[in-house]
Amino acid sequence: MPAVKLEKINSNAYWCLWEITESLDQLERNTYLSPQGLDEVSNISHPTRKRESLASRRCLQEIFKEMGKPYYGIYKDIHNKPHLVNNDYHISISHSFPYAVGILHKKLPVGIDIEKPVEKLSVVSSRFLRPEEFEDAGNDLRKLCVYWTGKEAIFKLNGHRSMNFQDNIRIHPFVIRKRDVIRSEMLVSNTLVKIALNYRELHGHYISFCF
């Protein structure tokens, strides 16, 4: 299955959505992996998780194909943040079966996340939402999904595991739409950084990204 969506956001940024319809064997044959990437994927025992991991990398491979540039795979640092091999562009990846996403920015750190609105978000919402966010979302699974993917995207943008969803990330109340940009903030080393958080709904999933 080719990419469901490959979009040029601006002159420096692209993102890609991939529907996972291929077998594991097909994905392994058609996805380029760096040596570290090969080790990482080989250590994933669950077949579906392995397909998701490969498809998210395939998103980046397709972005490089669109740009007409060589792709050498990725590696991950001690915080599990992905980086490109032999390239200083910024990337982020995510997956929620049967979809995977990837984003690239030539100059700025990026974060992306994808999830489907599911009941478990209501169960855990008090653990990742600030009081005003909790009040705004209520029991709306769509809004909860945007809050969750938004905070995940900002967390990935920062790239450090020490960041806390409640204490360090704030997403302002919003009206749920098919796609929009939300005012958000990230607290890093006592400095408040303003972030424009993009989200959109596609094929029953919500994708959030920022840079």
Per-residue pLDDT tens digits for 123-155? 999 999 999 999 999 999 999 999 999 999 999
* CA distance linking residue 27 with residue 33, whole number of Å: 11
Torsion sign across C-alpha atoms 203, 141, 96, 172: positive
Q: Are strands 99-105 and 90-96 parallel, antiparallel or unpaired?
A: antiparallel
Beta bridge partners of residue 205, listed in sequence order: 202
Give the residue carrying structure tokens 């077949």: 47
Predicted pLDDT at 190: 87
Average pLDDT for the chain = 96
Judge contact between 112 and 93, C-beta under 8 A: yes
Whether residue 160 has pLDDT greater than 90: no
Listed by start position, the domains of the chain span 3-108, 114-210
What is 114-210's CATH number, 3.90.470, 2.60.120, 1.10.3470, 3.60.10? 3.90.470
| 3-108 and 114-210 share one fold | yes
Position 162 confidence tier, pLDDT thresholds 50, 70, 90:
confident
- pLDDT higher than 60, residue 1: no
Q: State in words which class domain 3-108 has.
A: alpha beta
Res 118 pLDDT > 90: yes
Number of helices followed by number of strands (H, E) in the chain: 7, 11
